[in-house]
Amino acid sequence: TLNFFFVTIVLSPCVSFPVEIGGILECRRRRGYCSFGRCIPPAIPIGRCTGQTICCRG
């Protein structure tokens, strides 16, 4: 049980980091920008950058 806990704590940031960077790069590739919370009109949401940020375009 202790080994499973150790692996989960150590590997969790390593696993989530590339996914978040990939979301940011994908947003920029789609000519968007990352916004915390919501998009300011007239921008519209076109995806997610990270768990807390939205990809907006407009």
User: What's residue 18's pLDDT?
Assistant: 53
CA distance 53 to 44: 13
Taking the domains of the chain in order of start, what are their residue ranges? Answer: 2-57
Task: State the pTM of this model.
Answer: 0.63
Q: What is the dihedral of CA 12, 24, 33, 47, to 10 degrees?
A: -80
The predicted-structure confidence for 1-58, as pLDDT tens digits, reads as follows 444 333 333 444 444 445 567 899 999 999 999 999 899 999 999 999 998 999 999 9
User: What's residue 22's pLDDT?
Assistant: 82
User: What's residue 13's pLDDT?
Assistant: 44
CA 7 to mean position of chain CA atoms? 23
CA distance 58 to 40: 9
CA distance 12 to 56: 27
User: What's residue 21's pLDDT?
Assistant: 72
CA distance 14 to 7: 11
User: What's residue 7's pLDDT?
Assistant: 36
